[in-house]
Structure 1
Amino acid sequence: MSKVAVIQSASVPFDAEASTKKAEELIAEVAANGGELAVFPEAFIGGYPKGTAFGTAVGYRTERGRDEYARYSNGAITLDGPEVQRLVQASSEHGVFVVMGVIERLGNTLYCTALHISPTSGLVENRRKLMPTATERLVWGYGDGSTLETMDTPFGRVGSVICWENYMPLMRQAMYAQGVQLYCAPTADDRATWQASMTHIALEGRVFVLSACQYLTRDAFPSDHPFDVELPHGDVLMRGGSLIIDPSGKVLAGPVFDEETILYADVDLETKTRAHLDFDTVGHYSRPDVFSLTVNTRRADSVTFTS
């Protein structure tokens, strides 16, 4: 039996140092409450610029929008930067495996990434979002299959699927085929309908689902930051809705809306084993003679130098 935690909290947009400091404090709190795994929301460090158009329309960009993008890019982090080192240190010091949503900068491109940080091995995975959703594609690059991995931990096999990647059936199947037991879903989707998707995934994969979303308000952003659309919940940009579900579809914690909180649940992997009596989507309930999936896990580089 292991204790896991889902963080529902606001990032500090465009301020990586402040968001990292907040993350360190939350990791310490999880450890103090006996948690061994802490799942943070999508883009917790770097920020999710909800409602921001970056001055774009079809065939048109503005100088103000380029200024907004420059601030966003400057608030992103690199894998070899001090923020990741501080997260590695916090994970090690407190003995907590951390799944952290970040905006990663590589060269001149930003990626929406989930870092997997082990208390014993440091940064063990940077899981880049394969398919940015809608206008996210304006500011985020595409990940590739080389980061589509799961990994063993003392409390189960962990994998992450980011936000609307969870609506991609073949993506989910690839994760199930890698034996994921603790299915982490950092997200920016705060709709009540998200719970239905998370429940379906728990039942489909016979997995523990840990979904983390921010509770984010307008005043978290700099005072001069523009919002280009009318936000449906006024000053609340993301309402949360984080939750933890077991492989039978039972909700163990949440969903919680409209406040910052940490959700906890005890995880017994025997629950997953029992659930596979009557269903295994990549095993006895599959039909490989009819359906098959090929996953390309090669790194996709745009430029390759050879000699």
Structure 2
Amino acid sequence: MALTPAPPVHDGPLFPEVDMGAEPSAPTVRATVVQASTVFYDTPATLDKAERLLAEAAGHGSQLVVFPEAFVGGYPRGSTFGVTIGNRTAKGKEDFRRYHASAIDVPGPEVDLLAAMAGKYKVHLVMGVIERDGYTLYCTVLFFDSQGGYLGKHRKVMPTALERIIWGFGDGSTIPVFSTQIGKIGAAICWENRMPLLRTAMYAKGIEIYCAPTADARPIWQSSMTHVALEGGCFVLSANQFCRRKDYPPPPEYVFSGTEEELIPDSVVCAGGSVIISPSGSVLAGPNYDGEALISADLDLGEIARAKFDFDVVGHYSRPEVLSLIVRDHPTKPVTFTSASEETEGGHK
């Protein structure tokens, strides 16, 4: 008769005690928003400044660096470009010519240079630029990965107020969210962030790190940024320029309409307010209103899941049978050419 072997002897308990507090570690991303001024009308100098700031941020361990709206090319604060209803001045037209000359082509040599910077410093880069497409300008954000690859762009869908006389309107083909090694990244520019349907489209694309380059330094902007973070269950990184009057050309070359007589060279014309906010609405860094600065925080990506458990705006908290959104994400063109080979007897294909 075979004997059943005795069970092995354990020095410790048969079922080891489990630490119920242990959890898989979520990745952490070191992120920086840049608060600094353009060198207005001098794009090469602005790019040099961008590299210095990028190098400094990378030296602090940043994996993602976000620059303000229109950093390359400049935000023409205070300028009217000589426009009144029914009239444009000769000086205003010349102002536009110089502004157009400061913009960059996408793709183009400046984009290649920015890509090289991202690769050199091993950072993901989000950069606000003025994009030149022929003789139309767009307020645009460019995205680069840490290997120096150009990922794509977002064109501002809705310029605000007088911006509409100098910038074209983006369309649904450039509202991307990019999957990267550090998370899903996208951007909305300035008051686009107040457009609920645009935000919803970005949430539906799974955005995790929501970049909000802006020109709005008002304290109330902080409320909008907190709301976006809570609504989207995402990190919000808002970067604004800090500018003094002396950062722009002196009068009469460049005039701040209606306020020029009140300004001295050190007068602050944009006070910054750059900030980083968590998916729970906690302020992680900033807002800064004191001067040019690099504002950094460590983003615990586990916060996203914890926030979405409470409220997932396009998931368990949506009601698609009641409310839905259609996004037309194809490019819109004013002129389409059809070759003779594409014609049919009944007309065009």
Greater mean deviation of Cα atoms: 227-236 or 155-164? 227-236
The answer on 1:292 being equivalent to 2:324 is yes
The answer on 1:244 being equivalent to 2:271 is no
Instruction: Tell me the secondary structure at the aligned position of residue 143 of structure 1.
Output: coil
Shift of 1:19: 0.7
Question: TM-score w.r.t. structure 2 length?
Answer: 0.86
Distance in 2 (alpha carbons) for counterparts of 1:231 and 1:199 = 34
Select 2:82's aligned residue among 55, 59, 63. 55
Distance in 2 (alpha carbons) for counterparts of 1:264 and 1:270 = 18
Shift of 1:209: 0.3
- In structure 2, the CA distance between the partners of 1:232 and 1:299, relative to structure 1 (3 Å rule), is farther
The answer on 1:103 being equivalent to 2:135 is no
Percent of counterpart pairs with the same letter?
51
User: What letter corresponds to residue 161 of structure 1 in structure 2?
Assistant: A
1:230 equivalent in structure 2: 259
Select 2:219's aligned residue among 177, 192, 195. 192
Q: Does the CA-based 8 Å contact 1:55-1:66 persist in structure 2?
A: yes
User: What letter corresponds to residue 59 of structure 1 in structure 2?
Assistant: G
Distance in 2 (alpha carbons) for counterparts of 1:35 and 1:232 = 41
Shift of 1:122: 1.7
1:26 equivalent in structure 2: 53
Shift of 1:121: 5.3
Task: List alignment gaps of at least 5 residues for structure 2.
Answer: 1-27, 340-349
CA-to-partner distance for each residue in 1:136-174, whole Å, 9 max, x for gaps? Answer: 000000001101110111111001000000000000000
Shift of 1:303: 1.1
1:267 equivalent in structure 2: 299
Distance in 2 (alpha carbons) for counterparts of 1:174 and 1:267 = 23
Shift of 1:119: 2.3
Q: Does the CA-based 8 Å contact 1:52-1:229 persist in structure 2?
A: no
Distance in 1 (alpha carbons) for counterparts of 2:89 and 2:262 = 27
Select 2:233's aligned residue among 206, 212, 216. 206
Shift of 1:231: 6.8
Shift of 1:274: 0.8
Moved over 2 A (4+): 231-235
RMSD of aligned C-alpha atoms? 1.3
Q: Does the CA-based 8 Å contact 2:116-2:148 persist in structure 1?
A: no
Shift of 1:81: 2.4
2:119 equivalent in structure 1: 92
Shift of 1:233: 8.8
1:42 equivalent in structure 2: 69
- In structure 2, the CA distance between the partners of 1:160 and 1:292, relative to structure 1 (3 Å rule), is same
Distance in 1 (alpha carbons) for counterparts of 2:258 and 2:288 = 25
Aligned residue pairs, count: 307
Greater mean deviation of Cα atoms: 11-20 or 171-180? 11-20
Q: Does the CA-based 8 Å contact 1:103-1:111 persist in structure 2?
A: yes
2:178 equivalent in structure 1: 151
Distance in 2 (alpha carbons) for counterparts of 1:65 and 1:50 = 14
User: What letter corresponds to residue 337 of structure 2 in structure 1?
Assistant: F
CA-to-partner distance for each residue in 1:105-154, whole Å, 9 max, x for gaps? Answer: 00110000000011225211111000000100000000011011101111
1:140 equivalent in structure 2: 167
Task: List alignment gaps of at least 5 residues for structure 1.
Answer: none
Q: Does the CA-based 8 Å contact 1:16-1:83 persist in structure 2?
A: no
Distance in 1 (alpha carbons) for counterparts of 2:262 and 2:238 = 21
Greater mean deviation of Cα atoms: 230-239 or 18-27? 230-239
The answer on 1:6 being equivalent to 2:38 is no
Distance in 2 (alpha carbons) for counterparts of 1:273 and 1:214 = 32
